[in-house]
Structure 1
Amino acid sequence: MAPKSFSGQERTLIDQRLRAAAAECLERYGVRKTTVDELVRRAGIPKGTFYLFYPSKEALFFSLFIEYHNRIHQGFLVRLSQAGEQIGWREFADALLSMCQVAADTFLLPLMTEGGLELILRKLPPELVAEHQQTDDGSVELLFAQLPQLAGKDPKAYSAALRGAAMFYMHRPEIGEEHFDDALKITVYGICRELFSEDSP
């Protein structure tokens, strides 16, 4: 039996429903406990239809991760552009903290800090993962190239440092809710101050 064909509009609507279902499941159950059966039930489609769109739940989750990641990163760039060419370390840090907060309000940050993203990446073709990492590194390098204040700095080293700051969210209970926001701010401010310092690597 030939696979059912869909119009462009039908494909868009089905994909939107799958993505909405994936976001709900990631927030409620996480990667491990979400099944394709649960995804199609929430999306209201047959299981066979799912595989016309994605080869696995991990492929759907990764596609959704990229969408949210790019959306948040674009918001970060817009905020930087609004600050103008003479942006300093404080404006840069505040834009980063804003980006962290947006991510924390979605499934994205828990996915990155609680091992879900690692589970997804293990199930994906290595070339797809490598392509994403190259794109990510390239976007950081492009950002550095656009800011004269960051000329000569190593974008990969600071990208790693900022990922470390994001890992704060893994240890929120140990840090304590009362002081978490201040501790994160102190850390990000310190990184960005160093980033914009003439003596930094």
Structure 2
Amino acid sequence: MPKKFNDKEKQWIRQKLIEEGKRRFESLGLRKTSVEDLTKASGIAQGSFYMFFDSKEELFYHILLEEEAGIRNQLLALVSESAIVTKEGIQRFLLDAIRLLGESPLIRQMYLEGEFTQLVRKLPAELLEQNFSEDTDALMPVIRTWQAAGILVHTRPELIVSMIRSLVLLTLHKQEIGADIYTDTLSFLLDLISDGMVSKRD
């Protein structure tokens, strides 16, 4: 039977699991990290893990949500609402989004190593939906500013968020696209997207 912990111990152990999980998931990935690895590093019995998370996938997803929330906050801190309603401003915003998300070891592990498939298979759909909902909510100030300026006025906000996420996925396939042509391809695509968005002003 797992040991009982007081509230202070529970708080410390949960944070320790998150810290160890982030370190191991970033370096080894989800599949190569076991619950035993996490509990040994945290100084608890393996069975005690399930007092805090239902699975290692749930821990991974919790850490991923924290990671993406931090990235969104960085992104929004870079945004000047008065500067994102031009073609150049939109390009800068999209480039910042691509750079910040593409620099995350955890996000790269999830997509490049096929971890996302395991998450989809192991986690309930409503938990997975939380990620997309939080993206939409966090980016609403930017989307409202675009739409107030007449850009994509009749487009559902979640579609705009999906477009940004799609661009990020593109950056994770640099080798498949071709390293020598990747930068020019991304630049060309961003130019087409931003030009198309501005041309759709009402």
Q: CA deviation at 1:109?
A: 3.2
Matching residue of 1:152 = 153
Indicate yes or no: 2:129 matched with 1:127: no
**Is the alpha carbon distance of 1:163 and 1:113 closer, same or farther for their aligned partners in structure 2, counting shifts above 3 Å?**
farther
Q: CA deviation at 1:62?
A: 0.6
Structure 2: gaps of 5 or more residues: none
Q: Answer whether contact 2:81 2:145 (CA < 8 A) is retained.
A: no
Q: Answer whether contact 1:65 1:108 (CA < 8 A) is retained.
A: yes
Distance 2:35 2:51 in 1: 13
SS at 1:196's partner residue?
A: helix
**Is the alpha carbon distance of 1:138 and 1:16 closer, same or farther for their aligned partners in structure 2, counting shifts above 3 Å?**
same
SS at 2:173's partner residue?
A: helix
Distance 1:23 1:56 in 2: 15
RMSD: 2.7
Structure 2 counterpart of 1:6, which letter? N
Structure 1: gaps of 5 or more residues: none
Q: Answer whether contact 2:75 2:100 (CA < 8 A) is retained.
A: no
Q: CA deviation at 1:86?
A: 4.1
**Is the alpha carbon distance of 1:162 and 1:86 closer, same or farther for their aligned partners in structure 2, counting shifts above 3 Å?**
closer
Match of 1:186 among 179, 185, 188: 188
Distance 2:173 2:129 in 1: 28
Matching residue of 2:200 = 198
Identity of aligned residues (%): 25
Q: CA deviation at 1:48?
A: 2.5
Indicate yes or no: 2:80 matched with 1:78: no
Distance 1:185 1:62 in 2: 31
Which is bigger in relative contact order (C-alpha 8 A, separation at least 6)?
2
Q: Answer whether contact 1:76 1:96 (CA < 8 A) is retained.
A: no
SS at 2:44's partner residue?
A: coil
Deviation readout 1:78-110 (Å, 9 max, x if unpaired): 111xx2424223223223322322222221133
What TM-score, normalized by structure 2, do the two folds share?
0.80
Distance 2:173 2:81 in 1: 34
Once the two structures are superposed, the pairs formed by residues 86-125 of structure 1 within 5 Å of their partners are 86-87=83-84, 88-106=86-104, 107-125=106-124
Distance 1:189 1:43 in 2: 48
**Is the alpha carbon distance of 1:15 and 1:196 closer, same or farther for their aligned partners in structure 2, counting shifts above 3 Å?**
farther
Distance 1:128 1:63 in 2: 10
Structure 2 counterpart of 1:58, which letter? E
Distance 2:115 2:2 in 1: 35
Q: CA deviation at 1:153?
A: 4.0
Provide the aligned length of Structure 1 versus Structure 2. Answer: 197
Q: CA deviation at 1:77?
A: 1.2
Matching residue of 1:5 = 5
What TM-score, normalized by structure 1, do the two folds share?
0.81
